[in-house]
A and B are shown apart, each in its own frame.
Chain A
Amino acid sequence: MKEFKGIAASDGVAIASAFRLTEPDLSFKKRSITNASDEIKRLYAAIDVSKDELLTIQQRTLEDLGSNEAGVFKAHVTILSDPEMLNRVKSTIEKEKVNAEYAMNKVSDGYIKIFNSMTDNEYIRQRSTDIRDVTKRVLSHLLGVPLVDPALIHHKVIIIAHDLTPSNTAQFVPTYVKGIVSDMGGRTSHSAIMSRSLEIPAVVGFKGDLSEIKNGDTVIVDGSTGNIIVNPTEAQKDEFTQKQVDYRKRRSQLANFKNETTSSSDGKHPIIAANIGTLDDLDGAIENGAEGIGLFRTEFLYMDSNHLPTEDEQFNVYKTVLEKMDHKPVIIRTADIGGDKDLPYLDVPKEANPFLGYRAIRMSLDKPEIFRTQLRALLRASAFGNLSIMFPMITTINELKKAKSILDQERIKLIREKVRVKPIRIGIMVEVPAAAILADQFANEVDFMSIGTNDLIQYIMAADRGNRMVSYLYQPYNPAVLRLVKHIIDACHDNNLPAYMCGEMAGDQMAIPILVGMGLNEFSMSASSILKSRALIKHLDSREMVTLANKAVTMASTTEEVTAFIHQATNSQQ
């Protein structure tokens, strides 16, 4: 028995046998050969085995995951059947008298180069990945090094991996993949986000040596605490089996809240909405009973791409979100890109202080052509649902006025082009202290405000939230933070505007009672927090929470005092 720790990344408990997902070593040397026809035979044998393997994987994937996922493998088979490509590999072997590994790799590199140079055709360019995958498979058979295929997993396992890539997670069959352990990344790594959206218990940032876990070892993953036990004792197995039962019971109790309207015990109805970052997150939001989308971050359109997303590409994504949400309110935030994100196709210089630099609306106003494309896509999509637009990082009234006037210009152009555009509510994300302090003035210019606490807190406390040395200063319940949050909410209400929040704080079980007391109108959070938050609010009497909120902002001087007030107030509610 061995115990390890890691970062708790996705709730739940899993017990199953370990399956190590390792990248095989496919390195080889260029060799001169004398008998070309033997080498070609070796090549064909490897290709035949690869094709057989792909057909099996395709069949399995089709049965377990569906035709979309299986389509990738069908494409792989087509590539391996390509007569032109095979001829090139063959003639490279014959003319250059080189080994099959080298020839195969050379021809495939040639194609990848051609495809990567096709800058105007994203669809084709993405196919380089397919060629690379296919080449890996053929190389693995030439070299006799087995590839690990997640799609072939056919019993319950815990995946042990250095990190997970989107292409191998796409092959996971949820019935068999019970848990995930990886040694890379934090709560926001790809592995972590993916496991939360698939609701698979996961621990990331494994502290220790992953190679100590062998294939077939029994592994317990506790995704709520970050504990990992390898080859547990019988007593531990029993203990965690019980934990698993309790967890499932709690989940199914929470599931009852899915179709309920959010309501406090005295009948106040704040909305609980979801924050989403991609279209994949949308299903999780709906599945967990989100009453709207409070924040759709549009950055993925820019990040997961090698070019600026076109108006049509964006339009299709926005339209899908609006249609799937079926007239529930959807707030889409214009792009928050800039110095902290590396976009190869955009020439944005690295900055010493990206969080205080050229990003979000600052960049949008400086590069209006990119901004206009996004606004046009949003305006066109507005016809398909209940859309609000929100501008990030607004600091001054003039920035907001400029952004609004560009939006108006595009609206008028589209109406002249006879494109249907519905009325859209306009809001700002309040995350810069200057805008927060001046909230009463901003209220004259917007239809709503949404408090972005992740940035607002780091700006109030002057503490980089990515810097571990100062992470103790990231204090959502600090009275200074709470006073400013209350000031924003009051400014909205004084001007008959709704006040929303879309930072982590909105889903924080400690902060929710205070925010209910401040009269926050919408709590927007990650999908996995929705049901427990709805369950929590149901037990709260909003009038008593008003008292709590007032105490916290007037009487407390430290985070600890606020925390004590919260415990006092909520214990009396149970």
Chain B
Amino acid sequence: MEKRQYNIIAETGIHARPATLLVQTASKFNSDITLEYQEKSVNLKSIMGVMSLGVGQSAAVTITADGDDEKEAIDAISETMKAEGLTE
């Protein structure tokens, strides 16, 4: 199981566009991937789930991947977060 924590720096939090891209990235992998924020956890392959968390600026989130490609999954997701300006 791979687990990583992030601090969201984007002023608008994880809004529609980066959320869509995160979901698309996560969906490429076999692993079960979850996004956790304020003790709520959702499937990162679910756009509705991700948006319903309403992650805002300065939020601390945790992403967990569990499966045969968990490491690659977390790396790819970290990259998308950075490219979208969500994290530093």
Contact = CB atoms under 8 A, between A and B. Distances in A.
Main SS class of interface, A: helix
A82 B20 contact: no
Interface string B1-17: 00000000001110111
Nearest to A80: B47
A434 interface: no
Interface in A66-101: 71, 74-75, 78-79, 81-85
Contacts of B45: 82-84
A78 B47 CA distance: 7
Interface in A114-138: 114-115, 118, 120-121, 123-124, 126-127, 131
A246 interface: no
Interface of B: 11-13, 15-17, 20, 23-24, 27, 42-43, 45-49, 51-52, 54, 56
Contacts of A312: 11
A123 B16 contact: yes
Given A120-B56, A121-B54, A79 B48 contact: yes
Contacts, number: 56
Contact of B20 (A78, A83, A111, A120): A78
A115 B20 contact: no
B56 A85 contact: no
A83 B15 contact: no
B16 A124 contact: yes
Contacts of B48: 79, 82, 84-85, 111, 131
A123 B12 contact: yes
- When A and B form their complex, which 9 residue pairs have the shortest distance between CB atoms, in order from nearest? A123-B15, A84-B46, A118-B54, A78-B47, A114-B52, A121-B54, A82-B46, A124-B51, A85-B48
Contacts of A120: 54, 56
Interface string A248-280: 000000000000000000000000000000000
Contacts of A84: 42-43, 45-46, 48-49
Contacts of B49: 82, 84
Given A84-B48, A115-B52, A124 B43 contact: no
A75 B17 CA distance: 8
Contacts of B56: 120-121
